[in-house]
Structures are given as structure tokens and as C-alpha cells.
Structure 1
Amino acid sequence: MLQNHSKRTASQAALKQGLFLSGVLLAGGVQAADALDQGDAAIAEAAAIGVVQAGSEVPSVTVSATRRNASLQSVPLAITVIDGERLEQANRNSIESIVQEIPSATFRQQGGNKDSTIFVRGIGTISTSPGVEPTVSTVIDGVVLARPGQATLDLLDIDRVEVLRGPQGTLFGKNASSGVLNVVSRKPGQQLAGYVDGGYYEGNEKRLRAGVSGALVPNVIAASLNALYADYDGNVSNVHAGGGKVNGYERKGLRARVDITPREDLDITLIADYLRGTGSPSFTAYKSTSTAFSQAIAPVVASLENRSVNTDLPSDIRDTNRGVSAQVDWRVNGYTFTSISAARDWDNAQYTSTSAIGNSAEASRITAAYPATRDIGTVAFSQVSQELRVASPKDGFVDYVAGAFYLHGKDRETYQRIVTTNTVNSGRADYGVRNDSYAVFGEATLNFTPALRGIVGARWNRDELAYDHARTSTQATAFAGVQPAVQSDGSVTKDGYSGRVGLQYDLAPGINTYATYSRGYKGPAYNVFFNMLARDTLALKPETSDAFELGLKSSWLQRRLTVNLAAFHTAYRDYQANFYDTVAGAVVTRLINAGEVSTRGLELDVAARPTQQLSLNAALAYTDAQIDQFNCPAAAAASCNLNGKTLPFSPKWKSFVRASYGIPLNNGLLLDLSADYSYQSRTQYDLFQSPDAIQGAYGLLNAGLTVSSVDGGWRVALVAKNLANKSYATNLVASTGYVTRGVPRDDSRYVGITARKEF
């Protein structure tokens, strides 16, 4: 009774909070409507005296978040949109670097790509198991990527990146209980054109892109082909004899696109891509409280800014991503019928070490506390998907998008750990997961009046999940991170429901407000990994969420200023999280239904164009993500006193500001000066609140100077990253006796030069 009363009290408090925020937004919107007329008068007066230049307005941004192209300002949803060309110029080429511009998102870097993931509004998936689907879904040109690791390499030929915040199940194919990263590539034009784009940065980082596009058959077939090559030595020194630099990469890829329009009512898009990457990600010693560990890494000394390791076998991560897709859009009587068929493969191999020593040849450094270990893991993942949609005409009382979705995923993995003390022992696991996901979804807009609209969406999905696992070991008992031999398999089928309802109201031209409720859903899961035990054989329950969002989107001063505001509160039940436990003296992970967590906050996005030359962008997010009720597993060896604690990878405050000023030169050139600054408050990286896994608040200042031809035929730019030379960690992992740090590319100041020639 007390528990039910507490939940009821919390629900009432949340409702009151929501009503209060709604009142604030609506009141602000009414005042804004009044101010709009005054603002127009002020603009007219300013224009008369030459303070404001004609034509200097914030560019309109088109998004596909509602599965139709629409203006960002008209969509009743919190969205961040980043231009692809701007990302390339800023040397932000992957999701890890893109999130610096997205205050509501963070990125968790781990030893390999398959273990890294994105968080939105403080919620993400921390698990290496192939039996867990991501909380934040990644979609590229309409194709859902079933595994987070598929999206960690470079993005190629990108038009824009849209980050949709909050549950998105009613319109996007796969379950997306916390958000969607929607990547849209460029369309080929009709005119024959090409480009070569190269860059060189301190640290011997080299990047080269080239592409060609144009019509093969005028107005019928257009195509593009883009290629990428990049490599980087790394910013961590391996002091071992002949070690050189680590924490770098090499990547190469191709992307081809063909757009076919055989007649006016039919569009066909064919895309094929291939991307291969190798890397040597290295976590450095951040802190040591163990003499044995300090001796094992000597002469490296653990410190906050340490960028050195001592390893005879550096990490070696290899990824290959490839896929094909076909999208068909057929328009008839105002309706658009869409089919997206796709097949993708992802291969991953990881050669890493779980200790300071990786090779038995280093016998003088081996101790009982820190034996030599070598981990070898492989992933072979494939998926096929099919999505069918229909979009109704938009001139009636009801306009809608409805569809059906199917995805089949198959994962096969191996993992081997070799442990050397005075003898050599090892263990190996072979395991895999099969998943079939079916869904029917739709969302409708009810146009009650020209100013008032209702939103209704629903989704039904079925997840069929099965796994098998077999581990062998040279020992009958546990030793140094290897559990005894075991074998198991299992399967589960679950039906789930999600939905969205809301209202959108236009207070005045250019100003609209919305209030929505969404139910999020994330399917069942299995904790399938190398050290899987009997207790991991039961399927986890699906994770569900209830999300409330209130928003205001506004344009001011004849579109010279846009201000968007969103307030949200989301409560998660049966939250799927990794729980660190101790078995036979070794730390292991246990994926559990951790209980109840919640996230609430405010998000502000501002864009301004005071003059034709000056552009300003700012974004701010306040996120309070916390554990409400943690369910401690039976006989857990680790502490579960986590109620009221902060969720990991969720800074309370995060912001991004950018300014760009263009100066026309007399000789037909354009000079552009730009700077941006990102800030992140104190962040806990450990679910179990280790004081050694806290990254202090930090800010990063970047700048650029670009000279280009007015016609856009060529461009040369100087880029400076992390001008204040601020060292920080993308992840801190606390272990017994020591802490290691994930070292980002811009952990210290560096500069570079880029050049682009179009023809």
C-alpha cells in the first residue's frame, strides 16, 4: 500500500509539474504573439536606418522526422538538425564527434566499436550482448541499423543528421524508446559535377574524399559515387620497444546512389555502400592505487592527462560494413506508397587485453594480480529488412502515415581469452542470437481548425528472440576472468504496444506550441556474452516508458531569429541495464531489469541571422536523469544502494554555441570566420557511482578560417580544435586498484588545413 501510495504521489507531482510547465509555455507563447507585431515594427524601423539587412534570415530547415518532408519549425517534436557540409568542415565525421553539437546527446566510448553507444536525454544501452536492442535507434536513408556498432565508423556523403528526442515508435520501423538518429544522404543532381576534398591535421591525420554525380539519362536517371580514405597515427604513445603511436585508425569506403524517375509519379532510389576500418583504441592509466599495477605499466605513470601505455600487443579493432537498399515511392491520387528493402552485413574483429600485459613474453611484468591476458573476439552480423508505408494527401481533415515493418537479424560471435601466469590457460565461447521483429504502425494529424491540430499514433510489434551459447575452458573452476565450461540456449516471443497522442496549436504565424504523451517500448533481451552463466539464461522483460513533452517553436523578426523550447519528463519501467557483480574474485556484468529510472529537463535551441554576414546558433540542455528504484538481483555481490543516484553518461548541463561571420572580398572571394564552444557539466560514467569515474566539467573551443570563391568552386580552410588545450575523458572505467581513461581525438590542441575543389 505504501509503495502504491508513493507511486500515486509521484504521478500527481509529475502531473502538476507538467501542467505548470504547460502554463508557462502557453503564457510565453501568448506574450510572444504580442511581441511579434512589435518585433516586425522594430525590424521595419531598423531596416529604414540600415541596421538590419534585407534577406538576412535564418534558412528554412527541412526534416523527414514525420516520414514526409516538412519544415523543422512546423513539426511538433524536439529535433536537432546538423548540416552535413558543416560537419565535414569542422572535422566531425562520426557519431562520437557529432554529439559535441547536440546538448541532449552523449556518446559512450569503449574498447571497440561494438561496445560503444549513443545516449539521448540521459538514456542509452550499456551492454555488449547481441541479445539487446539499442535504446536509441540509428536510421540511414530509411534503413534501420539493428546493432549500435554498425554506425560508429565515418559517415559518407551526408546531407544532414536529425536527432529526434524521446520515443519514436509510431513512425520509425524499429523500437526506439529514447530517440532516433536519422541520417539523410545527398541526392545526386542533374548537372555533371564532381569534387575532391582533402585535409591534413597535426598528429599526421589525413582525410581524402572525392565524388562525382550527374544525370545518366536527363530527368530520368541521376547517380553519384563517393569515396573516402582517412588515417590517423593516434594520440597515445606506446612506450614499449617499437610501439610507436596508438589510438588511431585507418578507414576507406565507397557509396553509390542511383535515383531513377521513369515517370512523374514514380521515384526509385538504389544505394550501395562499403566501409572498412581498422583502429587501435587505447585506454590509458588514469589513476593507480595498486603498487602491483604501477609496476606492471612502468615506466608509464598513471595521471589525469596521461597519454601513454606500455603494451607489447596494442589493441587492434577491424570493422567492415556493407549494405544495399532500394526505396520506391509511388504517388497516386495524392497518396504516396513507399517500399524500403535492405540487406546489411557487419563484421567485427577485436584483439584486446583486459590487463596491462598482453603477451607471455613479458614474463618479468607478470604478477598474480595482473596476469598477461589476450582477448580475441569476432562478430558476423547480417540483417534484412522490409518497410511498407502509405502517406495520405495533406489537404483533408485527417492526414496520416501508416506502415508495416519486418527485420530479421542473425548474429554469430566467438570470444577467446588467453591468460598467462606461470602457466597458460584459456576459455572460448561460441554464441549467437536470432531476432525477428514485426510491426504495424501509424500516426495521424487531425486538422480541427487551421490553427489547432490533434496527433494520434499507435504501434504494435512482435519480437521473436532466440540465442545459443557454449563455452569451453581449460579449467573446471573460474580463473582470471574466465568462467567454467557451460552450454545453454533459449527463446522468447513478446508482443508490445506503443503510441503517441497530443495537441498542436498555432498561437500566431510563425509561433506554435504542442503537448504530447508517448509510450515507448524496447523488446525483451538476453544477456549473451563470453562469461554467460546459468543465471543469465532467463529473458529480460521488455523496457517501457511514459514520456510527456511540451514544446514551443517560434520565428521572430521576419525569420531572423528562431527560438525552440521543449520540456520533457520520461519514466522508464523494467529498465535494462548492466549490473557489475563479483564472481570467484572476478568482476562480471549481469544484464538485469534494473527497475525504475526517469529523466526530465528543458532544451533550448536558438538560431539567429542579424545580418547577411553573421549567423549564430546556440543550444542548451538541462537533463536530470536518475535511478528511482533499483531492483537488486538475488545474492548480488555488489552494492545496490543506488536509489536517487544519477544515471551514467548524463551531464545535468550541456550546451553548444557557434558563430560564423562572412566577409566578401573585393577580388571575388569570400572570407568566413567561425568559432564554436561546447560545454558539459560534471558527469558520472559509472552506474555504481564510483568517485573515480567522474569527469569534471569542461569546455572545448574550436575555430576556423575559410577562404572560398563566391561561386563555390573551391575552398581552403584552417581549422583549430580545442584551443584551450583541455584534456578530458570520453569514459572512465574503475577497476580494482586502478582507473583507465578513454582518450578522445581532441584531447589536446591541434590544427589542420583542408581544401576542396569542385568541377
Structure 2
Amino acid sequence: MVSMRHKARFLAGAMIPAFLGLSQTAHAAEAADSLATADAATVDVGAAEADAGEEIIVTGEKQETTLQRAPLAITAIGADRLAQSNVTQLIDMNGFVPGLTVANSGSFVRVVSIRGVGYEASDNLSAQPGTSFHIDGVYVVSPYALQQDFLDLKRVEVLRGPQGTVFGQSATGGIINAITEKPDMAKFGGSVQLELGNYDLVRGTATLNVPLTDTLAIRGTVQRYYHKGFAVQTGLAPSYGRYGLDDADRLSTKLSLLWEPSDSFSAQLTAQYFTADENGAAQKHVADPDPDPRRISQDYPNKYQLDFFLAYADLRYDLGFGTLKSLTSYQRTRNHNQIDVDRLNYASLGAYDVQPYWDNGVDAFSQEFNLTSNGNGPLSYIVGGYFLYQNLKQDILEYKGTDATPPST
């Protein structure tokens, strides 16, 4: 038996002192390219809205504008359209947007690329993605956190082309920005949705919006998603029972507080949490002796666990000529994987390669300040600064051998 233990700890900090965008200069080349492409400004929010000629408001370059006036290649997809297409997480958007590809890597990492530029080293936590994922403008650092479910969405914006100048990340391929619903001070309301399916599938979602005063409102959403495994892992000890793979057991929560004491100032505090505790993906070896595609001949239990917490404060002050914004965020990601690396049982392979654990941890703090122009004058600008601190950890234990009894821990 040969055992291997590997530990790696990475500490990385990045600071971009300032970014400056002039819509008639810095983005002129990108705008020209965007207008020249067939998918330059794609209105996917809804066919009814597009046919009615309604203006579609997008955030795009850190300031609200209409989709038709946005000087870049952008696709905006509304929550209704996503629900109709059963897009519940990032991987469901694969092929849904022109130029966007989302694929699995090693069963627990999402590889996202736009126009062929993406996350080429997803297992390396210190690598910077070519295409980045954001929630309400906050960059999600860990590639493992891209497994979370979408929750309380208003729309998703996909920006193609380099976005590092405006978003403070080296996103040369583009970004995906999931924009969530804000609390509403005008009405009290909520919704409950329940979905049932085969394999004991249950998806329950509840949302409640409560105006506390004329200037203060709170909004909360919780979602529970569960189904049994689509495949069964054979070769395990009888104590494991029927060990289903490709199962789902997830909980998502989000709480947001909005305060608008005046027309010129607003403060929004948001916290969201996602957790998953599942048996891992059904990845069948090409030499698996069982011809049934839903029976996986593996003798080491697979396990996948993910905890993701994100909190951020969005403060905005309208100065008349421009809007000053502060976006502060903290995020914590913990991921545990237990893998039958050889993807077969000992009887078929005569050897084993297993990972009792592959643990990943990411703690990140970011601070952004920017000033954006108001109105549609001859000069449009964004000026500001962005700071990102990351503490990255990986802890891996792997066993290889030819004896019939691999260690359990």
C-alpha cells in the first residue's frame, strides 16, 4: 500500500487601485464589436416585453441603462423565463445564452466559459477565472460555490468580452451577474411554491416581503430541494444500504433589509446561505462490468458537502451629477469531497485509488467604491476602486494500493 497526504495553504491578496471607464473612449472598441455581432444585445427577458417595445433595464456597467443603449454585448434573462426553462442553477444555463458554456469538472466544480474563455484551472483555488460569477455585483470567489442554487432572482445578466476594468476582476471572457429581488416598501406579500416529481423529488420555495415602515422593508426566501439518487453504487458494505448517487439534498436561504430614508440615499443589507449534503455524482467507468448505466460498480463511498455563506452591504448616495456607491462583502465557503478515484471496485481493477477527503476552504473580503454618472449627457463615466482579500486552503488525503483493504480514513 502506498499512502499520500498532501496539504496546501494559499494566501492571496489582490488590489486594483482604480478603474475608469468612458463610454465614448474606453469602451468604444468593445461597443463597436458588440454592435457588429449577431448576439450584441440579446433580449431574453421575455418575448412579450420585447414585442411590446418595452424598455428593458439592465445594470451592465455598474449603472442602470436600457438594454438597447448598453454599449456592450449583453444578454438579460428574466426570472419568469428562467423558471419556464427550469433553470435553477448555473449549470442549467449551458447552451441557454449565446457563447456561454457551463460544464462539470470532477463532478463538484463548474467550468464556465464565454466565447471559449473560462476557468481553465478550476481545481487551483488561487487561479483567476477567465469568466467570473457575481451575485448583485459581488464576485463569488470559490469555484465550488458555483454549485449553489439560484434563489429569489430578478434576472441574470451575461456580459461578453473583457470586464476587468469595471468589475475589478481579470474576467477576459466576461461575467455572469445574478441580480436578486429587493425588498419592497410599497406592499406586503409573499408566495409559496411546491414541486413534486419522481425519485421522491421535492422542491419547496417560500418568499415573504414585509414593509416595516415607509422607509424600511425586509424580504426573506427559503428553498428546500431533495430527491433520491438516479443511480445506485454497488460494491459497498451492506451497512451502507442502497447508496444512491446523483441525489440532491440542499437548503438555500436569503434575507435582505432595505432602508431608504430619502430619495437620495439607500442602504441594503443582504445575507444568504446555501448548504448541500449529498452522496456524489454517478460517474461510471468505461470498464464497469455492469451493463446497467444506473448501477455503478464502486466499492468506496462517494460524498459531497458544501456550505456557502455570503453577506454584503450596498450603500448608494445620489449626488445629482452622479451616484456614489459602496459595496462591502464577506463570503465563506467550505467544501468536503470523498471520492472513489479509480471509479471501479477492487474485484474488477485489482487495485484501488481513493480520497477519504479533499477539503477546500475560502474566506474572502471585498470592498468597492465607485462614482457613476447620472443621465444621458455627452459624457458617461465610472471611476472607483476595488479591493479583494482571499484566504484559500486545500487539504487532500489520497490512498493508492493493491491490497484488498484500503484505509477508511
TM-score where L is the length of structure 1:
0.45
Opposite residue 354 of structure 1, the aligned amino acid is V
CA contact (8 A) 1:111 1:281 kept: no
Would the alpha carbon gap of residues 90 and 198 (structure 1) be closer, same or farther in structure 2, given more than 3 Å must change? farther
Q: Alpha-carbon deviations, 1:9-39, whole Å to 9, x = none?
A: xxxxxxxxx9xx98x959x9xxxxxxxxxxx
Please give the residue correspondences for 1:118-133 in structure 2 after superposition, counting only pairs within 5 Å.
118-127=112-121, 128-133=123-128
Deviation at 1:175, TM superposition (A): 1.7
Matched, 1:389 2:370: yes
With normalisation by structure 2, the TM-score equals 0.81
Query: Where do 1:76-91 residues align within 5 Å?
Result: 76-91=71-86
The counterpart of 1:152, out of the listed 126, 147, 151, is 147
Aligned counterparts of 1:337 and 1:319: Cα–Cα separation in 2: 35
**Inter-CA distance 175–301: structure 2 relative to 1 (3 Å threshold):** same
Distance in 1 between the 2:124 and 2:36 partners? Answer: 42
Which position in structure 2 is the counterpart of 1:255? 254
What are the Cα deviations for residues 437-469 of structure 1, in whole angstroms up to 9, with x where unaligned? xxxxxxxxxxxxxxxxxxxxxxxxxxxxxxxxx
Which amino acid in the other structure matches residue 334 of structure 2?
Answer: D
1:414 is aligned to 2:395: yes
Secondary structure in 2 matching 1:149: helix
Deviation at 1:173, TM superposition (A): 2.2
**Unaligned residue ranges in structure 1 (runs of 5+):** 1-17, 29-52, 289-296, 429-759
How far off is 1:272 after superposition? Answer: 0.5
- Name the aligned partner's letter for residue 414 of structure 1: D
Q: Compute the displacement of 1:269 (Å).
A: 0.7
| Structure 2 partner of 1:344 | 331
**Aligned residue in 1 for 2:25:** none
C-alpha displacement at 1:414, in angstroms? 0.5
Deviation string 1:137-168 (CA, Å, 9 cap, x unpaired) is: 11111211122222221011010001111111
Instruction: Give per-residue Cα distances to partners, 1:659-686, cap 9 Å, x unaligned.
Output: xxxxxxxxxxxxxxxxxxxxxxxxxxxx
CA distance in 1, matches of 2:225, 2:352: 36
Question: Given that residues 329 and 366 in structure 2 are in contact (C-alpha distance below 8 angstroms), is that contact kept between their aligned partners in structure 1?
Answer: yes
Q: Matches of 2:331 and 2:230 in 1, distance apart?
A: 32
Change (3 A) 1:399 1:126: closer
Are the equivalent residues in 1 in contact too, given 2:245–2:282 (CA < 8 A)? no
Write the deviation string for residues 394-446 of structure 1: whole angstroms up to 9, x where unpaired. Answer: 354322111100000001110001223228788x9xxxxxxxxxxxxxxxxxx
CA contact (8 A) 1:246 1:314 kept: no
Q: Is the 8 A contact 1:111 1:283 kept in 2?
A: no
Cα displacement (A) at 1:282: 2.6
Q: For 2:51 and 2:352, how far apart are their aligned partners in 1?
A: 64
Paired amino acid for 1:301: P
Question: CA 1:103 to 1:375, structure 2 compared with 1: closer, same or farther past 3 Å?
Answer: farther
Q: Percent identity?
A: 21
Could you tell me which amino acid in structure 2 is paired with residue 180 of structure 1? Answer: I
The answer as to whether partners of 2:298 and 2:340 remain within 8 angstroms in 1 is no
Superposition pairs of residues 360-509 of structure 1, within 5 angstroms: 364-365=347-348, 367=350, 370-422=351-403
- Residue deviations 1:559-579, cap 9 Å, x none? xxxxxxxxxxxxxxxxxxxxx
Shift in Å, 1:270: 0.5
Would the alpha carbon gap of residues 372 and 243 (structure 1) be closer, same or farther in structure 2, given more than 3 Å must change?
Answer: farther
1:379-402 CA-partner distances (Å, limit 9, x unpaired): 121000000000123354322111
CA contact (8 A) 1:134 1:146 kept: no
- Residue 202 of structure 1 aligns with an amino acid whose one-letter code is N
Q: Choose 1 or 2 for highest CA Rg.
A: 1
* Bigger RCO (CA 8 Å, 6+ sep): 2
Corresponding residue for residue 285 of structure 1: 284
Q: Secondary structure of 1:97's match? A: helix
Give a deviation string over 1:175-220, Cα, whole Å, max 9, x none.
21111001100112220001101101223221000010031112x0
Where does residue 271 of structure 2 map in the other structure? 272
Q: 2:93 aligns to what SS in structure 1?
A: helix
Contact 2:94-2:103 at 8 Å conserved across structures: no
1:170 maps to a residue whose letter is: T
Q: Is the 8 A contact 1:381 1:412 kept in 2?
A: yes
Number of aligned residue pairs: give it.
361
Quote the Cα distance in structure 1 between the aligned partners of 2:405 and 2:279: 25
Shift of 1:65: 0.7
Counterpart-to-counterpart distance in 1, 2:157 and 2:382:
19
The reply on whether 1:312 has 2:299 as its aligned counterpart is yes
The equivalent of 1:301 in structure 2 is 291
Cα distance in 1 between the residues matched to 2:58 and 2:296? 45
RMSD: 2.7
- Partner Cα separation in structure 2 for residue 25 and residue 261 of structure 1: 41
Query: Are residues 269 and 357 of structure 1, via their aligned partners in 2, closer, same or farther at CA, if it must alter by over 3 Å?
Result: same
Query: Partners of 1:25 and 1:317 in 2: how far apart?
Result: 44
Q: Aligned with 2:164: secondary structure?
A: coil
* Pairwise CA distance, 1:317: 0.7
Aligned to 1:205: 201
- Who is 2:308 aligned against? 321
Aligned mates of 1:216, 1:83 — CA distance in 2: 27
